[in-house]
Structure 1
Amino acid sequence: MNEVIDAHAHIVPESLLTDSAFRRTDKGWVFSAPGIGETRPIGPRMTNVDARRSWLADTGVTRQILSPWLDIQENGRDWALRLNDAMCESADELGTAALASVDTTDADQAAQDLVDAINVPQLVGLMLSTDPLNGPPLHSDHYAPLWMAAVEHQAPIMLHPSTCGPHGGLGNVHGRLVDNTLALGNLILNGVFDRFPGLQLLAVHGGGFLPYQAGRLDGGYRTGETKVADLERGQPSAYLQDFYYDTVALTAPAIAFLTENVAPGRVMLGSDYPFAIGDPQPATTVRNAALTEHLTDSVMRGAAVDLFGKIS
């Protein structure tokens, strides 16, 4: 069987559950820590390794690149370092690789922590919130040291919306896609790709609405309504091909559009495991997109290997 890589799958490492930030209730584990503002329930599939292995066997996915659950990610630098260690343990247990976390409060320190993380064999990139907790937006100058380090060390960065982002409603259905779209559009409009060529960013959930409504972004730039900087390539849509995307757009036609028209070679299979609104059979959805054999292989494995080089 050919290898199938799931590039968007979350986990809460079991080794973390002994920390005081976690407690067991009648309904299962919950997470509550200073700065988070509320208690977050943790579904059993988020931590249970046997359930994950069963899902892999049922779907034909051969391995997942493990991402921390964003809801437990932003809790200070000491916590981020501990989370990274726990992610490495989970990666070893499951025979795969994982994404790191950094505290972005101090961008220079975050840049150094990113460099240190990707020198760890199990860590192949970084997951970053599109709505940093109580921090400046990703397109601000604050993140320049982090982008610079990511380019210099070829460190991929997954951009993922938070549970309590600015969307204001419809949560998992459309709200987080709005958050994706706003963050990605602002990165383009503020010239981040012009200033940091070679930046490798993975836009989850199929890139939100951006790839499918890029014409309106171009229109706003043309009329000056959304023009922030003079873009070297003339219009915002010219930068869509700089992102990598996952297939958590959830339908075969959307995956086909992304893969054939937006970013050939830069679309990779994702499930958003273990969330119910994710894709329960991501490999089947990709096959239903009726792509060429070359593009199908790219989505199933090739694009992930290209982005996360250490997993090959």
Structure 2
Amino acid sequence: MIIDCHGHYTTAPPQLQAFRDAQLARLADPSLPPAALAAIGDDELRDSVENHQLKVLRQRGADLMLFSPKASGMSHHVAGPATARAWAAASNDLVHRVTELFPAHFAGVCQLPQTPGGALDGAVAELRRCVSELGFVGCNLNPDPSGGYWTAPPLTDPYWFPLFEAMTELDVPAMIHVSTSCNPSAHTLGAHYLNADTSVFMQLLQGDLFTRFPGLRLVIPHGGGAVPYHWGRYRGLAMRMGRPDPAELLRENVFFDTCVYHQAGIDLLHRVIGASNVLFASEMLGAVRGADPETGVAWDDTRVYVERLGLSAEQRHRVYEANARRVYPRLHARLLTEGR
């Protein structure tokens, strides 16, 4: 089967955004009534997915997508733990309903209620709720809740350890994914996302996170940002700092996805990182929509690029399915119970 490990609910019914707008309005004016999510019927949810992500998933021949709330909509830069918890819960509950309506095609990945400088108690609680009660198989972790100003400590700092402890206990991975950029010098999709992917890899290279958490698994999306392209730089820096070869991070702990929207980029990703640590993904209907006018291929139709790599049958199985089952063991267990 083909598992797409990177999908966002970018086509949620408008009631969800109206709820968020009401939340933000009340933060600006506390005299306003508390925000409430208007009712969303199952037919509305079906329509929002069947004519978008599910339709495209089927057209491109994939089988299942790991589905999470809209990344740019997480908006972790907004202060207020209670607001963040309510927003994450509403977003995750809607994703859960989609996975219940289309269990053969979607598995949930949760948004965490992070805030700049805030404690992680709420994030841990929401992770536990989504995994234990809603059957989610992973989470999205924002290393920069400030939205482009990087006020948070590196992921190797003890600040993050309560979350990593919970992830290890629950045996779920995190995809490293920032939200919208508040910094006008860093475009959300073209700079901030890729900056985060690259920065986190360097943080991991500098620290010893996996010595403390040997079972922790992190997926760095968007092909790893600049990392594969500058692999020699990271190897050289590691040697200069007396750190292990960056390839050590790639054994059991760090994985990249295939959200790279041209053939040369996918080719490089495979040559540098290898099939054992690459997960198929598209982030379809997300950052880059439309088709490349030179090829006619949709930018986010990453399966086309993977098919042109000339992988062996074993390598294709790893990229399309086996690596996702390995990184997301709760997904693997669920698929086994379904005979898949």
Tell me if structure 2 keeps the 8 A contact 1:59–1:282. no
Tell me if structure 1 keeps the 8 A contact 2:5–2:65. yes
AA aligned opposite 1:5 = I
Q: 1:58 corresponds to which residue?
A: 59
Structure 2 residue aligned with 1:298, among 318, 322, 339?
318
Q: 2:232 corresponds to which residue?
A: 215
Q: Does 1:196 align with 2:216?
A: no
TM-superposed deviation, 1:277: 1.9
Tell me if structure 1 keeps the 8 A contact 2:8–2:69. yes
Tell me if structure 1 keeps the 8 A contact 2:176–2:221. yes
Structure 1 residue aligned with 2:4, among 3, 6, 9?
6
TM-superposed deviation, 1:52: 2.3
TM-score (norm. length: structure 1): 0.80
Tell me if structure 2 keeps the 8 A contact 1:91–1:122. no
Q: Does 1:97 align with 2:110?
A: no
AA aligned opposite 1:81 = A
TM-superposed deviation, 1:193: 2.0
Q: 1:142 corresponds to which residue?
A: 159
TM-score (norm. length: structure 2): 0.74
Q: 2:73 corresponds to which residue?
A: 72
- Deviations for 1:119-139, whole angstroms, at most 9, x for unmatched residues? 135311101123223762333
Identical aligned residues as a percent: 23
* Separation in 2, partners of 1:298, 1:222: 30
Tell me if structure 1 keeps the 8 A contact 2:205–2:238. no
Between 114-123 and 77-86, report the one with greater CA deviation.
114-123
Structure 2 residue aligned with 1:239, among 215, 234, 249?
249
**Alignment map for 1:98-113 (pairs within 5 Å):** 98-104=108-114, 105-113=118-126
* Separation in 2, partners of 1:10, 1:289: 26
- Deviations for 1:193-244, whole angstroms, at most 9, x for unmatched residues? 22211111111001111133232223334434xxxxx75xx34443133311
* Separation in 1, partners of 2:328, 2:143: 20
Between 240-249 and 12-21, report the one with greater CA deviation.
12-21
Q: 1:43 corresponds to which residue?
A: none
TM-superposed deviation, 1:258: 3.5
Structure 1 residue aligned with 2:200, among 174, 178, 183?
183
4+ long deviations beyond 4 Å: 31-36
Distance 1:110 1:256, change over 3 A: same
Tell me if structure 2 keeps the 8 A contact 1:167–1:178. no
Q: 1:20 corresponds to which residue?
A: 19
Q: 1:40 corresponds to which residue?
A: none
Q: Mark the runs of 5 or more structure 2 residues left unpaired by the alignment.
A: 29-46, 77-82, 290-298, 336-340
Aligned CA-pair RMSD? 3.0
TM-superposed deviation, 1:177: 1.6
Distance 1:80 1:217, change over 3 A: same
Q: 2:127 corresponds to which residue?
A: 114
* Separation in 2, partners of 1:256, 1:88: 35
Distance 1:72 1:162, change over 3 A: closer
* Separation in 2, partners of 1:150, 1:167: 33
Distance 1:83 1:285, change over 3 A: same
Higher share in strand? 1
Q: 2:37 corresponds to which residue?
A: none
Equivalent residue of 2:140, what SS? strand
Tell me if structure 1 keeps the 8 A contact 2:198–2:226. yes
Distance 1:92 1:296, change over 3 A: same
- Deviations for 1:145-186, whole angstroms, at most 9, x for unmatched residues? 111221222111011133317693465345532221012211
TM-superposed deviation, 1:18: 7.1
**Alignment map for 1:82-93 (pairs within 5 Å):** 82-93=90-101
Q: Does 1:285 align with 2:305?
A: yes
Q: 1:39 corresponds to which residue?
A: none
Between 284-293 and 68-77, report the one with greater CA deviation.
68-77
Q: Does 1:264 align with 2:275?
A: yes
Equivalent residue of 2:139, what SS? strand
* Separation in 2, partners of 1:94, 1:33: 34
* Separation in 1, partners of 2:25, 2:239: 45
- Deviations for 1:256-301, whole angstroms, at most 9, x for unmatched residues? 4434542432311111111252643222211111111111122122
AA aligned opposite 2:109 = L
AA aligned opposite 2:70 = W
Equivalent residue of 2:108, what SS? strand
